[in-house]
Amino acid sequence: MSSLRLDLTSKIYPEPDSVFSVNDHFDHLPDSLLLLIFNKIGDVKALGRCCVVSRRFHCLVPQVENVVVRVDCVISDDESSSSSSSSGKSRGPFFNIFRFVFGGIVKPLQALGQFLGQTRASSSLASSSSTSSLAVGTQEDGEIDQSGVTHHSPTQVLKNFNEIRCLRIELPSGELGIDDGVLLKWRADFGSTLDNCVILGASSVIQPGSIKSSTQDNGIDGGLCIGIGGASDDNGSIPESFYTNGGLKLRVVWTISSLIAASARHYLLQPIIADHKTLDSLVLTDADGQGVLCMNKDQLEELRVKPLSASTASKRTLVPALNMRLWYATHLELPNGLILKGATLVAIRPSEQSATKKDVSDCSWASTAFEEPYRTAAKMLVKRRTYCLEMNSF
């Protein structure tokens, strides 16, 4: 009887080694399924943490195809930390976007350091303290003050990713400082140079319901005379006041600033594009949603084959001579109730490209450049009267 009881006990309580060590069901998951999960994660910081989970993860993470890099801060590439603060302001707002870096994750950077490679980390740390922004963090556990946070450029972080096809880099904010209530968005497509750029701006944005409430408070009839598409000037003509009150000058500033921001972003992407031959899509945007630079597979290959022309004045791609089309509406009311005052859409293409394309008058590409509700605004604006402008290379 006792022998039977012992036998039953052994069946009810098996030895740990026979179940938990041998039958690890997580190890039975195929690599393809794990890669699918990693591709859904995307964020390079999270992937850096995954690298230290196991040797298997460490080997799989470099095979991820969809990667997102969220930049935490921006510092100068040419100036040391001591001189950048004093000279950066005098060189204009675009000087400080020569290098993207991200930091602020102290403990995870230890894991990311192993992923980037021990050789590079040790050599960077041994070189000098002045280049600490290029080194991988090796701080111990615990609270780290601001001076102990290390930074890495996207080029460094992406070094050991071998199969990237879709890359998205997100800046902490847009480069263009604009007043509250002003709308300014741009999208640019680049190859070795600018392919096209679309800019949407408005001097002010009135949210749905705000007009009704304000007019009722003032004892004014809520039926404000603003038609969809700016019915107050049905022919789409720009009023004379647009030229005299600084409206045109402001739009020119928006256009030039957006082009400079786009060309500066494009310039910074060269090393990443050169290092990752598998790229099919690259997007460089910002957390504010102000500007988006896009490159598809053909454009990426064009840049590899035909090097870009750099501007002699600053570290950015040279902007070629341009043909521009402008649409304007004093008031533009969208179907969702959003109202854009002084709404302006500018569609830009290089002069050489415009001369070779037969569909120059077709601006459908400009009307689909933005997400809703601004896509609807662009579609409404392109139906209005068109104004043509030219701009020299700069």
Lowest mean pLDDT of 2-6, 90-94, 105-109, name the range: 105-109
Decide: 325 and 386 in contact? Cβ < 8 Å.
yes
Decide: 113 and 88 in contact? Cβ < 8 Å.
no
Q: How confident is the model at residue 17 (pLDDT cuts 50, 70, 90)?
A: low
Per-domain residue ranges of the chain: 176-209+235-391
Task: Identify which has the larger pLDDT, 273 or 4.
Answer: 273
What is d(CA 135, CA 222) in angstroms, rounded to the nearest whole number? 61
What's the rounded mean pLDDT across residues 106-114? 36
Q: How confident is the model at residue 308 (pLDDT cuts 50, 70, 90)?
A: confident
What's the rounded mean pLDDT across residues 325-331? 94
> Which pair of tokens denotes residue 45?
């910081």
> Residue 72: helix, strand or coil by DSSP?
coil
Q: Would you put residue 214 in left (φ > 0), alpha (ψ -120 to 50) or beta?
A: alpha
Question: Bridge-partner residues for 329, per DSSP?
Answer: 343
| Highest mean pLDDT, choosing among 60-74, 117-131, 203-217 | 60-74
Task: Identify which has the larger pLDDT, 130 or 18.
Answer: 18
> Residue 348: helix, strand or coil by DSSP?
strand
pTM score of the predicted model: 0.72
Cα separations (Å) of 134 from 43, 84, 126, 250? 20, 16, 11, 39
How do 99-101 and 73-75 pair as beta strands? Answer: antiparallel
* Res. 128: pLDDT tops 50: no
* Res. 135: pLDDT tops 90: no
What's the rounded mean pLDDT across residues 119-137? 32
Q: What is the pLDDT of residue 33?
A: 93
Exposure b/e, 281-291, CB count within 10 A at least 16 = b: bbebbbeeebb
Q: What is the pLDDT of residue 155?
A: 86
Q: What is the pLDDT of residue 35?
A: 94
DSSP code per residue over 172-236: SS-SS---TT-EEEEEEEESSSEEEEEEEEESEEE-TTHHHHHHHHTT--S-----TT-GGGTT-
What pLDDT, in 10s, does the model give residues 242-287? Answer: 888 889 999 999 999 999 999 999 999 999 999 999 999 999 999 9
Q: What is the pLDDT of residue 69?
A: 93
> Residue 295: helix, strand or coil by DSSP?
strand
* Res. 382: pLDDT tops 80: yes
Q: What is the pLDDT of residue 295?
A: 97
What is d(CA 196, CA 198) in angstroms, rounded to the nearest whole number? 7
Q: What is the pLDDT of residue 13?
A: 54
* Res. 84: pLDDT tops 60: no
What pLDDT, in 10s, does the model give residues 154-186? Answer: 888 898 899 999 999 999 888 888 888 899 999
Q: What is the pLDDT of residue 60?
A: 94
* Res. 78: pLDDT tops 50: no
> Which pair of tokens denotes residue 70?
């969220």
What's the rounded mean pLDDT across residues 285-301? 95
Cα Rg of the chain (Å, integer):
27
* Res. 366: pLDDT tops 70: yes
